[in-house]
Amino acid sequence: MNQHKNIVIASGNPGKIKEIQAILKDYPIIPQSEFGVSEAEETGTTFVENAIIKARHAAEHANMAAIADDSGLVVDALQGEPGVISARYAGTRATDEENLRKVLRNLEGVPEDQRTARFICVIVLMRRQHDPMPIIAQGVWEGRILEQSFGENGFGYDPIFWVPEYQCASAELEPQVKNTLSHRGKALKMLTELFNHRAAQ
């Protein structure tokens, strides 16, 4: 990625923007809101489809390279829910708190060893609206769902996601620690490696 060329990020989620800017701190990442770009309608049925839809939409309206991620929580005992609708699991305008409370309600009575879950993140970089070969990277973070919320850091489902490596909830991790472990951190690392490999060819 050209370190001097602006890249628009296709997101209106402040927590997500902050994480991506922190991990890609060598690159000028600008939120799409600064260009007056609206949120794209996520009509895909997979993380990959939605990330491409969002990146293409931002690239078109900002007229520059765009990066978009689509991510979510996949809970085994809920047959993969909330999945691609993680941000709107409890309704179109649901808050983070409402979404995670719905997960906890749906898991009531499920024993600890059956509460396995993972965060999944797919990140797409499109150099222009009609980029025929976008760079696609993904990351997975394995854990399980707690029975109540812990911690004040992070966003989304972080307060109920147990991190085995640190024996705590994701929301109890310092941001810089989370960024080395998380699905988004892994996907962004892969994205950078893929881009640098392609640039070197």
Give residue for tokens 């950078």.
Answer: 192
pLDDT digits (tens, 9 = 90+) for 71-124: 999 999 999 999 999 999 999 999 999 999 999 999 999 999 999 999 999 999
State the average pLDDT over residues 55-79.
96
Per-residue pLDDT at 50: 97
Q: Look at 197 and 73; give whichever has higher pLDDT.
A: 73
Q: Does pLDDT of 4 surpass 60?
A: no
Mean pLDDT of 40-56: 96
DSSP output for 102-135: HHHHHTTT--GGG-EEEEEEEEEEESSTT-SS-E
Q: How far apart are the first and last CA of the chain?
A: 14
Q: How far apart are CA 165 and CA 200, in angstroms?
A: 35
Q: Which residue carries 């970089």 as its tokens?
A: 125
Comparing CA positions, the residue from 139, 138, 163, 133 lying closest to residue 150 is: 163
pLDDT score of 6 more than 60: yes
Report which residue type is found at 73: L
Span 138-193, pLDDT tens digits: 999 999 999 999 999 999 999 999 999 999 999 999 999 999 999 999 999 999 89
CATH class entry, domain 7-200:
alpha beta
How many other CB atoms sit within 10 Å of the CB of residue 194? 15
- Which residues are known catalytic residues? 70
Reading the block at residue 49, the tokens are 């489809």
Residue 26 is predicted with a pLDDT of: 82
DSSP 79-108: TT-BGGGGGGTT-TT--HHHHHHHHHHHTT
